[in-house]
Structure 1
Amino acid sequence: MSIAPVIRLTLFGPTHAKDATLLQAQELGCLHIEPLDRREDVVADRPQARRALAFLLASPVRRHAAHSAERFDAEAVEAAALRIEARLRALDEEKRTLIKRLRVLAPWGDYPLDPDLLARGLRLWFYVLPHWRLAQMPEYLTAWKVVAHDQRNCWVAVVHPDEPHDMPVPREHTGSVALHALQHRLHDLDAEHDDLLAERIALTRWCDALAHSLTRLEDQAERKRAAGLTREVDGLFALSAWAPAAALPDLQAMAGRIGLAMVTHRAPPAELPPTWLDNSGIARSGQNLLGIFLTPGYRSWDPSTWVLVSFVVFFGMVMADAGYALVMLFVLLALRLRRRPAAGEAPGAAGVWPLAWLLAASTGAWGLGTGTWFGSALPASHPMAALRLLDGTDFRLMMRLSLLIGVLHLTLASLAQARLARGWSRIAAAGWSAVLAGGGLAGFSIDQGWGDGLRWTGQSLLGAGLLAALTAAVMQGRGLGGRAAALLAGLMRLPAALGDTLSYLRLFALGFAGASLATAFNDLARQTLHGVPGFGVLLAGLLLLLGHTLNLVLGIAGGLVHGLRLNFIEFLNWSGVEEGRPFKPFKLKDAPPWMHRSR
Structure 2
Amino acid sequence: MAIVKLKKLTFCGLISEKSTVLEKLQQLGGTHLIPLKEDGLTPAELAQSRQAENAGKALKYLKRCANKRHQVHNTKDFDLDGVINAVLTIQSGMRTLSDKRDALQKRIKEIEPWGDFRLPEDGLRGLNLWFYIVPERLMKQMWAVDLTWQVVHKDNLYSYVVVIAGQEPPASSMPVARTHTGKVPLSRLKDELNQIELTLQDLQAERESLTRWIALLEVNLAETANRCELWLAHSLTLDSDALFMIQAWAPEEQLAVFERFAKQHRLALMISDPEAGDTPPTLLKNPEKLASGEDIVHFYQTPGYFGWDPSVAVFFSFALFFAMILSDAGYAALFMLLLAGKWRALGQSRKGLRLRMLSMVTLAASLVWGVMIGSYFGYGPAPDSPLETLKLLDINDFDAMMRLSIFVGVAHIALANGVMAYHRWGKKTAFVPVGWLAIVIGGFMIWQVSGPHQHLIQQLGYGALAVGCLFLLMFSSERTVVKPRDWLWVILDGFKSLTGLTEIFGNVLSYMRLFALGLAGASLALTFNQFAEQIYHAVPGAGLLLSILVLLVGHVLNLALCVMSGVVHGLRLNYIEFYKWSVSDEGYPFKPFSKKGVGND
Q: TM-score normalized by structure 2?
A: 0.76
**How big is the shift at 1:389?**
1.5
**How big is the shift at 1:384?**
2.2
Q: Matches of 2:333 and 2:431 in 1, distance apart? A: 47
Matched, 1:537 2:544: yes
Q: Supply the RMSD in Å over aligned alpha carbons.
A: 3.8
Matched, 1:432 2:436: yes
Q: Which moved more, 1:491-500 or 1:74-83?
A: 74-83
**How big is the shift at 1:358?**
1.0
- The letter of the residue matching 1:437 is I
Partner of 1:519: 526
Q: Matches of 2:295 and 2:379 in 1, distance apart? A: 35
- The letter of the residue matching 1:406 is G
Partner of 2:399: 396
**How big is the shift at 1:129?**
12
**How big is the shift at 1:360?**
0.7
Q: Matches of 2:334 and 2:90 in 1, distance apart? A: 49
Matched, 1:370 2:368: no
- The letter of the residue matching 1:561 is V
Q: What are the equivalent positions in structure 2 for 1:46-445 lying under 5 Å apart?
A: 46=50, 47=52, 48-54=54-60, 64-66=70-72, 68-78=74-84, 81=87, 131=127, 205-339=212-346, 341-342=348-349, 345=350, 350-421=353-424, 422-445=426-449
Distance 1:221 1:493, change over 3 A: same
SS of residue in 1 equivalent to 2:409: helix
Distance 1:555 1:131, change over 3 A: same
SS of residue in 2 equivalent to 1:351: helix
1:143-191: per-residue Cα shift (whole Å, max 9, x none)?
xxxxxxx98799xxxxxxxxxxxxxxxxxxxxxxxxxxxxxxxxxx9xx
Q: Does the CA-based 8 Å contact 1:470-1:490 persist in structure 2?
A: yes
- The letter of the residue matching 1:387 is L
Q: Matches of 1:335 and 1:298 in 2, distance apart? A: 36
Matched, 1:562 2:564: no
**How big is the shift at 1:476?**
4.4
**How big is the shift at 1:420?**
1.9
Q: Which moved more, 1:328-337 or 1:198-207?
A: 198-207
Q: Does the CA-based 8 Å contact 1:10-1:238 persist in structure 2?
A: yes
1:231-263: per-residue Cα shift (whole Å, max 9, x none)?
322143222111111121222222333332222
- The letter of the residue matching 1:4 is V
1:186-216: per-residue Cα shift (whole Å, max 9, x none)?
xxx9xx9999999877755434322322221
**How big is the shift at 1:588?**
2.3
Identical residues among aligned pairs (%): 35
Q: Matches of 2:218 and 2:298 in 1, distance apart? A: 30
Q: Which moved more, 1:471-480 or 1:435-444?
A: 471-480
Q: Does the CA-based 8 Å contact 2:10-2:271 persist in structure 1?
A: yes
Q: Does the CA-based 8 Å contact 1:424-1:476 persist in structure 2?
A: no
1:398-434: per-residue Cα shift (whole Å, max 9, x none)?
0011111111111121111111224331122211111
Partner of 2:185: none
Q: Matches of 2:598 and 2:212 in 1, distance apart? A: 29
Indicate which of 451, 455, 463 corresponds to 1:452. Answer: 455
- The letter of the residue matching 2:547 is A
SS of residue in 1 equivalent to 2:342: helix
Q: Does the CA-based 8 Å contact 2:13-2:266 persist in structure 1?
A: yes
Partner of 1:183: none
Q: Does the CA-based 8 Å contact 1:128-1:153 persist in structure 2?
A: no
Q: Matches of 1:128 and 1:408 in 2, distance apart? A: 81
Q: Does the CA-based 8 Å contact 2:32-2:590 persist in structure 1?
A: yes
Q: Which moved more, 1:480-489 or 1:237-246?
A: 480-489
- Structure showing greater radius of gyration is 1
Q: Matches of 1:315 and 1:357 in 2, distance apart? A: 12
Q: Matches of 2:78 and 2:299 in 1, distance apart? A: 40
Q: Does the CA-based 8 Å contact 1:296-1:579 persist in structure 2?
A: yes
Q: Matches of 1:326 and 1:51 in 2, distance apart? A: 38
Q: Matches of 2:440 and 2:165 in 1, distance apart? A: 74
Q: Does the CA-based 8 Å contact 2:9-2:250 persist in structure 1?
A: yes
SS of residue in 1 equivalent to 2:591: coil
| Structure 2 gap ranges (5+) | 103-117, 129-161, 167-195
- The letter of the residue matching 2:515 is F
**How big is the shift at 1:385?**
1.7
**How big is the shift at 1:494?**
1.2
Q: Does the CA-based 8 Å contact 1:375-1:516 persist in structure 2?
A: yes
Q: Does the CA-based 8 Å contact 1:9-1:262 persist in structure 2?
A: yes
Indicate which of 485, 490, 495 corresponds to 1:488. Answer: 495
Q: Does the CA-based 8 Å contact 2:290-2:357 persist in structure 1?
A: no
Q: Does the CA-based 8 Å contact 1:477-1:486 persist in structure 2?
A: no
1:468-513: per-residue Cα shift (whole Å, max 9, x none)?
2222236748847744642332231111121111111111111111
Q: Matches of 1:127 and 1:235 in 2, distance apart? A: 78
Distance 1:592 1:466, change over 3 A: farther
Q: Does the CA-based 8 Å contact 1:21-1:258 persist in structure 2?
A: yes
Q: Does the CA-based 8 Å contact 1:36-1:240 persist in structure 2?
A: yes
Q: Matches of 1:518 and 1:95 in 2, distance apart? A: 44
Q: Matches of 1:340 and 1:461 in 2, distance apart? A: 49
- The letter of the residue matching 1:17 is E
| Structure 1 gap ranges (5+) | 97-105, 110-125, 133-149, 155-188
SS of residue in 2 equivalent to 1:377: coil
Q: Which moved more, 1:56-65 or 1:324-333?
A: 56-65
- The letter of the residue matching 2:74 is S
- The letter of the residue matching 1:545 is L
Q: Does the CA-based 8 Å contact 1:284-1:350 persist in structure 2?
A: no
Q: Matches of 1:222 and 1:371 in 2, distance apart? A: 55
